[in-house]
């Protein structure tokens, strides 16, 4: 994987993939295809919501460990669950991402086998992150593990699971954060530029956590520190600098996860700092079993139940994206652009009605992007940053 000059992490083709590898990549890559969970496979007692897909237990809560709750991105739900999975012996390792120790603005895949390592990798990493780079090696190692990552990462794992029996045997639990999209690294780089800091001077780049949401904090070798509030970073959606695939994401809500974990600020954003809360949505019978055991063990504290319509209120940008998606994809197809194959994700049934302002804005906006060349990668890659 290499970082492009635009600040996107992309696979660098060293040699033509052989032995069926390309067919496998095409079958599992969530940039090419995502097929949602089948409503008829919904676990006993679960519902199926047009917006949220398979839903079982839907509650708010937080990690029972105060240090996890403070240091993690929100309420420490993911770190609390991952720690419980390790400590209860359900899995031997956790595959997720962490700050690159040498270049902490960047993220890299990591495998944690102790609670301390899981905690060290807590927090949201808002730039590019490729947690699956070593996934095949994990399957070859033969040790059990749980995966924590973005919905697209979990979609790829589920697609591979249908083709490789080692996935179900070893990757026993899949946890997803609900995701508004991955920014280009240049979003982070622009902050350094604002302060005249070079990337090799940075010793800490924490995107959030140490509070909920906590500040984006940068520290340098010579003792300088810069902080931005969450709203300074993310209030203006047009400045998120999202990668293109995220703008047409058919599953930002972790439909294929065993448990999806999200922020739960009413109205969609924080009005200040709080003690740290998550909403949790179990999606499979395996997710139900892990979640109730974690609650029984005190690893997760539940405060109250939530409904699908409260989830809409916590995540208004996800509802907007779901209504827009059909029109964005249609503009791509109409322009003859390569379009991904997204199935069973209620993209048509949830779409804003034809003739509506939302439909027109999203169709026309995508047509403009295509005309400006913003929907494809530059072909020349000679200046790749290692």
Q: Which residues bind ligand FAD (CB under 6 A)?
A: 72-79, 96-98, 107, 121-126, 129, 131, 148-150, 153, 177-180, 182, 209, 261-263, 278, 315
Nearer Cβ to ligand FAD (72/331) = 72
- CA neighbor of 258 nearest in space, from 9, 5, 78, 7: 78
| Strand order across the beta sheet in which 202-206 lies | 202-206, 216-220, 225-228
Q: Minimum CB separation from ligand FAD for residue 71, in Å? A: 8
Q: Minimum CB separation from ligand FAD for residue 217, in Å? A: 15
Peptide bond between residue 213 and the one before it cis (omega within 30 degrees of 0): yes
CB 109 within 8 A of CB 315: no
Q: Minimum CB separation from ligand FAD for residue 379, in Å? A: 27
Angle at 384 between CA 382 and CA 386, to 5 degrees: 140
Tokens for 380? 């020349």
- CA neighbor of 120 nearest in space, from 170, 82, 171, 90: 82
Nearer Cβ to ligand FAD (148/159) = 148
Q: Minimum CB separation from ligand FAD for residue 350, in Å? A: 17
Nearer Cβ to ligand FAD (224/317) = 317
> CA 157 to CA 155: how far, in whole Å?
5
Nearer Cβ to ligand FAD (154/331) = 154
Residue located via tokens 């700050």: 99
Q: Minimum CB separation from ligand FAD for residue 171, in Å? A: 15
Q: Minimum CB separation from ligand FAD for residue 304, in Å? A: 17
Backbone angles phi, psi at 102, to 5 degrees: -85, -30
Length of the chain: 386
Nearer Cβ to ligand FAD (71/363) = 71
Nearer Cβ to ligand FAD (125/322) = 125
């Amino acid at each position: 994987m290499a970082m492009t000059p635009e600040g996107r992490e992309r696979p660098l083709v060293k040699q033509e993939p052989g032995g069926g590898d390309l067919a496998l990549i095409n079958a599992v890559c969530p940039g090419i295809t995502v097929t949602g969970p089948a409503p008829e496979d919904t676990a006993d007692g679960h519902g199926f919501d047009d917006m949220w897909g398979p839903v079982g237990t839907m509650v708010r809560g937080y990690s029972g460990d105060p240090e996890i709750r403070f240091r993690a991105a929100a309420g420490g739900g993911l770190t609390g669950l991952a720690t419980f999975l390790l400590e209860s012996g359900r899995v031997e390792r956790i595959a997720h991402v962490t700050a690159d120790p040498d270049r902490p603005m960047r993220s890299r895949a990591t495998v944690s086998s102790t609670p301390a390592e899981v905690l060290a990798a807590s927090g949201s990493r808002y730039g590019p992150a490729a947690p699956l780079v070593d996934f095949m090696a994990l399957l070859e190692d033969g040790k059990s593990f749980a995966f924590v990552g973005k919905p697209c990462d979990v979609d790829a794992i589920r697609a591979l699971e249908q083709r490789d029996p080692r996935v179900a045997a070893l990757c026993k639990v899949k946890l997803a954060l609900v995701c508004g999209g991955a920014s280009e690294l240049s979003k982070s780089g622009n902050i350094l530029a604002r302060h005249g800091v070079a990337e090799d001077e940075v010793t800490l780049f924490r995107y959030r956590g140490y509070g909920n949401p906590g500040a984006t904090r940068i520290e340098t070798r010579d003792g300088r520190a810069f902080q931005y509030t969450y709203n300074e970073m993310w209030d203006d959606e047009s400045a998120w600098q999202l990668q293109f695939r995220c703008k047409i994401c058919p599953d930002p809500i972790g439909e294929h996860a065993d448990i999806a974990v999200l922020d739960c600020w009413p109205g969609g954003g924080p009005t200040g700092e709080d003690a740290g809360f998550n909403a949790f949505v179990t999606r499979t019978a395996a997710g139900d079993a892990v979640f109730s055991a974690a609650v029984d063990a005190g690893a997760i504290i539940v405060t109250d139940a939530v409904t699908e319509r409260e989830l809409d209120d916590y995540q208004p940008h996800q509802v907007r994206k779901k209504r827009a998606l059909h029109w964005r994809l249609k503009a791509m197809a109409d322009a003859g652009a390569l379009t991904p194959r997204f199935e069973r994700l209620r993209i048509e049934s949830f779409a804003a009605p034809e003739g509506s302002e939302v439909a027109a804005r999203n169709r026309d906006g995508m047509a403009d992007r295509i005309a400006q060349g913003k929907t494809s990668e530059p072909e020349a890659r000679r200046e790749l940053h290692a």
